[in-house]
Amino acid sequence: MALSDEARARLAPQAAEIIGRYPKPRSALLPLLHLVQSEEGYVSEAGIQFCADAVGITPAQVTGVVTFYTQYKQHP
């Protein structure tokens, strides 16, 4: 399931608000991923692309953060 244009438009203001709370946009990455997950039920490639666009980094960097966070949650 891809993130629809309607979902992107609905999430954009919330994403801007989340990013505004942090001194560095990259710091907002995990809350943004949770926002996308609440919309889709999981984080898809489209959700990763949305987060990358919002923060201004590449999707590969977002995927790296997701992978690290997932592994850390399993083995703190």
Phi and psi based region of residue 40 (left: phi greater than 0; alpha: psi -120 to 50; beta: remaining): alpha
pTM of the model: 0.82
pLDDT category of residue 76 using cuts at 50, 70 and 90:
low
Share of the chain above pLDDT 90, in %: 43
Answer for the pair 50, 34: CB distance below 8 angstroms, yes or no.
no
Query: If you average pLDDT over residues 38-66, what whole number do you get?
Result: 88
Answer for the pair 44, 3: CB distance below 8 angstroms, yes or no.
yes
Of residues 44, 34, 28, 35, the one with CA closest to residue 73 = 34
In angstroms and rounded to an integer, the radius of gyration of the C-alpha atoms of the chain is 12
